[in-house]
Every structure is written in structure tokens, then in C-alpha cells.
Amino acid sequence: MFFERNLIPAAAALALAFGLTAPGARAQTEDYEALNAAIVESYVLPRYADFAQATKALDASLTQACADGRPTPAESAAAYHTAMDAWMAVQHLRFGPSELFLRAERIEFWPDKRGTVGRHLAQMTSEPKLEALEPQAFASGSVAVQGFPALERLLFDSEDADWATPFGCALTLAIGRNLNSIASDLLSDWRDGEDAYAGTVLGAAAGNDRYFDAKEAALDFAKSLRGALLLVGDYKLGRPLGDAPEAARTTRAESWRSARSLRNIKINLQAARALYEVGGESSLSSLARAHPQGAELDEVIRAALERLNAAAEAQPDSLVAALEVPEGWAQLDALRVETRRLLELLGGPFSEVLGLPMGFNSYDGD
Amino acid sequence: MTAIDRRAFLTASAASCAAWGLCLPRAVLAAESRCFVSACSDEDGNTLARVVTGDGRLLATLPLPERGHGAARRPGQREVVVFARRPGRFALAFDPLSAEPLRRFDAAAGRHFYGHGAFSPDGRWLFACENDYDNARGCIGVYDATVGYRREAELESHAIGPHEIVLLSDGRTLVVANGGIQTHPQAGRRKLNIDSMQPSLAYIDAASGALLHDHRLPAEMHQASIRHIAATANDVIGVAMQYEGPRNNLVPLVGFQHAEAEIVLPPSDAATLRSLQQYCGGAAMDASGQVLAASAPRGGNITFWSVARQCHLGSLALADGCGVAASGAPGGFLASSGYGRLVHHNALSGETTRLDDPAAAPVAWDNHLLALTL
């Protein structure tokens, strides 16, 4: 086993330390404003800039590889992986610009429980229409074929030779161009102009049409942290692992065709850790620590994030490869369990201490 | 059930529990005492329904297949139905004393539950709020509890997004809070029509499904989703809403409505409005019909409103507090939170008592509490 049992104290044990209304130094408006500013400047903007840059390189690489009518993994795999790495670093930021125009789904339609990507790709290649690949038509067509999962099939699925046609190649190019276009829009919506979303977050203290106050903007970041771990624990590990080694289904994993399911998780966990710690004295970590009873909580969370990252780094990039080792399933399941425990801690005592109700009833409308 | 029958039953059920190797109930209800049902989630993420006594002690636990939401008591029977949280599809009838499942039934093809339902006074018919999602149409599924909750009919809810439903004292008029928000399971919980949403409070004849009358807010309030309602014995409806409009546009979210009159939104001061953070999660009337509780989990407050005077009485700070139910005394409520708190508060006396059961494994309480007397 990777983890000793109960390294993370049960959320309840920590929760007992806090009263009905947590007394003492609750974070103030200025603290949330500083937190928001630090995260936007040092986390959100650089990451979206990387994503825009990586998809631009992907677009260029596919164009070059397609010059002979058939891009191969050898020619474009590196650019694909770099772009996926950049996506994994922002995948959990599911608010603001990423909510618009189905951007997140268009970048990566996953989990794809009904095999929609394959079905829509097959439809598209069986009745090739070049006009469907025009940028506007493509962006407003099937969400499932617009992003990484479709590109991954075209590049890496060796049993599927559809890409090795002029139309397959044109489709590959359309995906690359589309991904770059979405990524550029994400960056510019966050960064540029009077309506930049960065301004909406930084101006939240005065109240605006998106945020009630600075704390509510901070809540979006706290939810993103929780969202990253939820994706890793329940979707990226929980679904493929199942309840027992014999129930494992690797085709439920994300990016299994390009053998990078665990590489995705490594980057997600790095992103979660960075989000918790970015901003020095203005970080989520510091806000927790500033609470009279938050020091222990903060230590537990930081240690858990460190252990999760170390445990993930010790694994190969491929989930299939990881499961070929005798103890592989148990190790990944332990990673899943500890991720779950950290989630409970974030949704419970952490969110209670910070007054950021991301837990349960306030998470979304019911 | 007489006291003797009850004792005999408890002895018998305790014996059968022991025979099955199950634990004995740790708390035993006195006759005619009140208990509360709520969906919840434990620390390992298991979804459950729990039954607790009026003083907060755990009485029974029922595992749920997925996250639950609201519950309805079947009149005349020791039976409660708990519904899946939207867009879930299961409903589970169970015995609140033993937590023994009695019947599971699922939403019909092309429908999912919204998480609330109400029984007819004779305990036969269950009316459940449902989404006919491919047609973007709200409907009320009608189930016959006497034949294993067979779905016998479907009524129109007369707007999109029927969320909570109550049956009035005449036993045949349904009042439905149509939230107005269109969702589709393939798009998860994404809201699809925020710009054009048209919530309503619909009075529906349970026998014919006919719309008797419905009530809407002024056009500039069309983004206030009428989501949770509660009724007094005299059929005054308390309304608790969720605002989908600009966050810096503070609007009143708690109101009253009676008979054919329009919805009244009592004016309240900015501080009270701010304390709701544009979002109410639940509504309940106290046992005397004097006080409406409207919970605001995002704001971390339970707010209390006078039914007669239609004004804000006061608030109880409770982080992520959402479940509210009448505790029996005039002005008395039990409230629950996502952080596992259970609190008794009397809105008339201002008295607050914490009711956590230290012996029970902690849970995050889900949105709604149901009060029932066994």
C-alpha cells in the first residue's frame, strides 16, 4: 500500500475543533481580494497563456505533418502531448470564460460514456464534407469531434485508418485550428479589454454582475481546487479502477489511446497543489493558517497534496502500464482513496474555516 | 397504533434485527414523537438517508444508490419516500423506524425526478415532480402506492422545472413551484434558458390535471426561480427563490401567496437581502403556521418570516445550512447543514440548541429535512 491508513485525519476529527460558528479571525474582504489578485496574476493568466501557445504549436505541427496528406504520431505526438499538458493545467477552471460557448466540452468531450466521439467521427468520415470543416461550421457542429479526444483517435488509434485519407487529414487540421482558436479566446477573454474576466474577478469586492463580493470570487477558485481533485478521484481514477482489480476498465480512463491517463492526473495534482499554495502570504493556504484553528488543518492539507503528488509521480504515464504491475491496482486505489479523503477535508473543515461554502448544499442550485 | 402494539412491534423488530445480525436501534421513539428524515453523505462519500429523533439522536440509516434530495411521508403508514437529487431517477420507499427499504421505483423513460413529491391524504397517490427533458416540459408523475408505486398517470406542471410540490388542505389541489430553468441530463446540471426563464407557482387540480390558476412575478423578476414552497394548515404558501440575474442586483427572494391572490414579496432591508446571497435553499412552515423558515446556504443563514405580518423576524447563522422542518412547538424549527450540524431554533423565543449526536458517524446533511410524527 502506498498510504498508511488514516494519514489524513477524518474530516470530522478536525471539524470537532470548530464550533457552530467558528470564532475568531475570519478572513476579511481585503484578504480575499489579495487572494484573487494573486491567483489571477500568477496562476490563471500564465496557464491560459501556455495553453494558447501550446495549441498554436500543435496547429503548426499538424499543418506541417499534413503536408503529405497523413500526419503520423511520430510527427505530431510531441505537440499533442505538450498541448494536452497545458490543457490539464487549466482543465479544472470551470467558470467564467470556460463556461461560454461550451468551450470546456469542445476542448475535451470527456467522460464520453456513450461513445459519442467515435460515433460522430465515423459519421463525419463516412460522408466527408469539406465545408463542415470550415472554422465557423466546425465550431458550431458536433461538440464531440472538435477537441482532444477526436484528435487522439485520429493520431493514435492504430486500428482506425480513417485519418490516413485527405479528408482525415483535413479533419485533423480543423481540430488543431479549432483548439487553438478556443484557447486564444480563453486567454483574451481573461486578459484583454474592458470586459476582461480578470477585471471582473479583481473588481468583485464592489459587487458586479458576476460576483456578489470578493469572497464569492474566491469561492470559484476554491471550487476549482475541489473540482480538480473530484475529477481525479471520482472520474479519472474511480471510473476505470472500479471496485476491484478484476473490475478495472482501462478504456474508461481519460486519454488511454495516447497512453497518458496518469500523466494527466500528475498534472492535475500539480495544478491543485499550486492553486492551494500560489500567492505566498495571500494564498488559500495562508488564509487557512491565519484562522486560530487553521494551522493544523493547513498542514494536513499541504502534506496530503504533497503525498498525492509524490504517489502519482512514482507511477508511469500510462494507466494500462500501471495496472500491469501486481500491486498496481491497489496503489492507484490508495491514491483514489486519499484523494477522496482530501476532498472531504476541503468540502468540510477547510471550507467552513474560510467561510467558502463549496461543500454541499451551496455548491449549485437545487 | 396503540402503545401496546408499538411496544410489541419494537420488541419484534429488535428481535429480527438481532437475528439478522444487525445492531439494535440505539434510540427508541416514544409514542407519537416527532422524527426527521434527511438525505446525507458520509465521510467516504456514501449517499444515505438518515432518520433522527427530535433531540438529534440517530434512529436509522438507509443506504441510497445515489445522492438523495427531498422526502415525503405517506399518510397513515410508517413509510417515507426519498427521491433522487436531480437529474437522478430513483425513488425509495422505506420504513423510517427500521430503515428497511420497502420499494424502489424509478422515473419513467425520458423522465427524471426533481427530488420532491407529495402524497394524497389517504396515502394512496404520490405526486412527484419530474422533467420530460427531451420535450423541455415539466410534469407530475402520479404513482399508486398501494400497488408498488405503479406510475398511473402524468399531469402537466404547466411550466418548466417543477421542483417542490405541496397538496393543500382540500386534499386535491396541488401547488407546484415551477423553477422555470430548463436542464437536460446530457448537459448535466447546466442551465439552458437563463435569459428566457419563466418561473411560476401553479395551482393544479390533482384529479384532472387542469391548471386552476398560476402566479408569476413581474417581468423584471423573471430570473427569480420559484424553487421551494411550504404551506400552512390554512393554505398560505411560503415561497423561497433563487436569483439567476446579475449578482449585484439585490432582489427579495422570500414571499407569500394565498388562494388566488398574487405573490407578495415583503420588502426587506439590504442587509437581510445580502444575507441570502441571492439564493434560498429550502422552505418550511412551523407547526403553528405563524413562521416561515427560508434557508440561505450560500449566505450561511436561516431566515425567519412572520406569516401574519409578512416581514422578516430574524435569522440564525448556520454555514451551509439548508434543511429546515417544523419541530412541533410554535416558532420551532430543526435546521441542518452541509457541515453536519443539526440545530433546534425557536424563531419566536430566539432560543437555539445544538443537537449533534456525538455517537453517530458525521455526515453532510443534504438540502432538505422532513418532519414526521410516528
Instruction: Say yes or no for a CB contact (<8 Å) between A207 and B281.
Output: no
Residue B189 near chain A (CB below 8 Å): yes
Identity of the residue in B85, B247, B320 whose CB atom sits nearest the CB atom of A208: B247
pLDDT at residue A165, as a whole number: 77
Identity of the residue in A209, A216, A359 whose CB atom sits nearest the CB atom of B364: A359
What radius of gyration do chain B's Cα atoms show?
Answer: 20
Q: Report if residue B161 sits inside a domain.
A: no
Distance between CA atoms of residues B334 and B317, nearest Å:
13
Domain that holds residue B19: 1-32
Instruction: Say yes or no for a CB contact (<8 Å) between A212 and B181.
Output: no
Tell me the average pLDDT across B214-232.
97
pLDDT at residue B325, as a whole number: 98
* Cell numbers 489511446: residue: A257
Distance between CA atoms of residues A305 and A338, nearest Å:
10
pLDDT at residue A352, as a whole number: 86
Residue B286 near chain A (CB below 8 Å): no
Beta-bridge partner residues of B166: B175
Give the gap in angstroms from C-alpha A334 to the nearest C-alpha of chain B. 13
Instruction: Say yes or no for a CB contact (<8 Å) between A212 and B45.
Output: no
pLDDT at residue B8, as a whole number: 39
Tell me the average pLDDT across A35-43.
98
Tell me the average pLDDT across B217-233.
97
pLDDT at residue A8, as a whole number: 58
pLDDT at B335 over 90: yes
Tell me the average pLDDT across B71-95.
97
Distance between CA atoms of residues A240 and A63, nearest Å:
34
Q: Report if residue B162 sits inside a domain.
A: no
Give the gap in angstroms from C-alpha A358 to the nearest C-alpha of chain B. 9
Distance between CA atoms of residues B218 and A213, nearest Å:
27
Residue A344 near chain B (CB below 8 Å): yes
Distance between CA atoms of residues A57 and A106, nearest Å:
19
pLDDT at residue A9, as a whole number: 57
Instruction: Say yes or no for a CB contact (<8 Å) between A212 and B41.
Output: no
Provide, rounded to the nearest whole percent, the portion of chain A with pLDDT above 90.
76
Count interface pairs A-B at CB distance under 8 A: 103
CB A190 within 8 A of CB A96: yes
Considering only alpha carbons, which residue of chain B is nearest residue A94?
B190
pLDDT at B166 over 50: yes
Identity of the residue in B247, B300, B367 whose CB atom sits nearest the CB atom of A211: B247
Identity of the residue in B45, B317, B320 whose CB atom sits nearest the CB atom of A361: B320
SS3 assignment, position B271: helix
Longest dimension (CA), chain A: 68
Considering only alpha carbons, which residue of chain A is nearest residue B163?
A366
Q: Report if residue B9 sits inside a domain.
A: yes
Nine cell digits for residue A252? 474508461
pLDDT at B12 over 60: no
Distance between CA atoms of residues A182 and B138, nearest Å:
35
What is the number of domains present in chain B?
1
3-state secondary structure chain A: CCCCCCCCCCHHHHHCCCCCCCCCCCCCHHHHHHHHHHHHHHHHHHHHHHHHHHHHHHHHHHHHHHHHCCCCHHHHHHHHHHHHHHHHCCCCCCCHHHHHHHHHHHHCCCCCCCCHHHHHHHHHHHCCCHHHHCHHHHHHCCHHHCCHHHHHHHHHCCCCHHHHCHHHHHHHHHHHHHHHHHHHHHHHHHHCCCCCHHHHHHCHHHCCCCCCCHHHHHHHHHHHHHHHHHHHHHHHHHHHHCCCHHHCCHHHCCCCCCCCHHHHHHHHHHHHHHHHHCCHHHCHHHHHHHCCCHHHHHHHHHHHHHHHHHHHHCCCCCHHHHHHCCCHHHHHHHHHHHHHHHHHHHHHHHHHHHCCCCCCCCCCCC
Instruction: Say yes or no for a CB contact (<8 Å) between B339 and A21.
Output: no
Nine cell digits for residue B320? 451551509
Residue B191 near chain A (CB below 8 Å): yes
pLDDT at B27 over 60: no
Nine cell digits for residue A77? 505526438
CB A46 within 8 A of CB A271: no
Taking only residues 181 to 220 of chain A, the set having a beta carbon closer than 8 angstroms to any beta carbon of chain B reads: 207-212, 216
* Cell numbers 474530516: residue: A11
pLDDT at B71 over 80: yes
Instruction: Say yes or no for a CB contact (<8 Å) between B45 and A207.
Output: no
pLDDT at residue A11, as a whole number: 53
Identity of the residue in A340, A355, A361 whose CB atom sits nearest the CB atom of B44: A340
Residue A101 near chain B (CB below 8 Å): no
What order of strands is seen across the sheet that includes strand B254-258? B224-231, B236-243, B254-258
Tell me the average pLDDT across A54-64.
96
pLDDT at residue A132, as a whole number: 96
Instruction: Note the pLDDT tens digit of each residue in A276-295.
Output: 999 999 999 999 999 887 99
Instruction: Say yes or no for a CB contact (<8 Å) between B364 and A348.
Output: yes
pLDDT confidence band for A2 (50 / 70 / 90): very low
Q: Find the length of chain B.
A: 374
Considering only alpha carbons, which residue of chain B is nearest residue A340?
B44
Q: Report if residue B24 sits inside a domain.
A: yes
Whether domain A49-195 has CATH 1.20.1420.20: the reply is: yes
Contacts with B54 (C-beta within 8 Å, 6 or more apart), sequence order: B33, B34, B35, B36, B327, B328, B334
Residue B147 Cα to chain centre, angstroms: 24
Q: Find the length of chain A.
A: 366
Considering only alpha carbons, which residue of chain A is nearest residue B317?
A21
Give the gap in angstroms from C-alpha B372 to the nearest C-alpha of chain A. 22
pLDDT at residue A10, as a whole number: 55
Q: Report if residue B1 sits inside a domain.
A: yes
Interface test with B, best of A337, A352, A361 (most B CBs within 10 A): A361
Distance between CA atoms of residues A258 and A121, nearest Å:
17
Averaged confidence pLDDT in chain B: 91
Residue B188 near chain A (CB below 8 Å): no
pLDDT at A206 over 90: yes
Instruction: Say yes or no for a CB contact (<8 Å) between B247 and A207.
Output: yes
Q: Identify which has the larger pLDDT, A141 or A66.
A: A141
Considering only alpha carbons, which residue of chain A is nearest residue B343?
A20
Distance between CA atoms of residues A231 and A227, nearest Å:
6
Instruction: Say yes or no for a CB contact (<8 Å) between A360 and B366.
Output: yes
A12-26, A153-167, B222-236: least confident range: A12-26
Give the gap in angstroms from C-alpha A344 to the nearest C-alpha of chain B. 6
SS3 assignment, position B330: coil
| Amino acid, single-letter form, for residue A239 | R
Identity of the residue in B45, B181, B322 whose CB atom sits nearest the CB atom of A361: B322
Distance between CA atoms of residues A46 and B326, nearest Å:
51
Give the gap in angstroms from C-alpha A103 to the nearest C-alpha of chain B. 13
Contacts with B7 (C-beta within 8 Å, 6 or more apart), sequence order: none
Tell me the domain boundaries of chain A: 11-38+199-354, 49-195
Identity of the residue in B115, B278, B337 whose CB atom sits nearest the CB atom of A366: B115
Considering only alpha carbons, which residue of chain A is nearest residue B247?
A209
Q: How would DSSP label each residue in B158-189?
A: SSS-EEEEEE-TTSSEEEEEE------GGGTT
Distance between CA atoms of residues B359 and B351, nearest Å:
24
SS3 assignment, position B264: strand
Instruction: Say yes or no for a CB contact (<8 Å) between A15 and B366.
Output: no
| Amino acid, single-letter form, for residue A233 | G
Q: Report if residue B3 sits inside a domain.
A: yes
| Amino acid, single-letter form, for residue B267 | P
- Report the relative pairing of strands B125-132 and B34-42 from DSSP bridges: unpaired
Residue B38 Cα to chain centre, angstroms: 9
Taking only residues 297 to 326 of chain A, the set having a beta carbon closer than 8 angstroms to any beta carbon of chain B reads: none
pLDDT at residue A4, as a whole number: 44
pLDDT at B102 over 60: yes
Residue B317 near chain A (CB below 8 Å): yes
Contacts with B33 (C-beta within 8 Å, 6 or more apart), sequence order: B53, B54, B373, B374
Task: Please give the sequence-ordered ranges of beta strands (E in DSSP) within B54-186, or none if there are none.
Answer: 58-63, 68-73, 80-84, 90-95, 100-106, 111-119, 125-132, 137-144, 150-156, 162-167, 173-178
**How many other C-beta atoms are found inside a 10 Å radius of the C-beta of residue B175?**
23
pLDDT at residue B14, as a whole number: 37
Name every chain B residue with its beta carbon within 8 A of the beta carbon of A361. Answer: 281, 297, 320-323, 337-338, 365-367
Instruction: Note the pLDDT tens digit of each residue in A159-202.
Output: 656 666 788 889 999 999 999 999 999 999 999 999 999 999 99
Tell me the average pLDDT across B19-47.
70
Whether domain A11-38+199-354 has CATH 1.20.1420.20: the reply is: yes
Please state at what angle helix A45-65 crosses helix A166-191, rounded to 10 degrees: 160
Instruction: Say yes or no for a CB contact (<8 Å) between B246 and A347.
Output: no
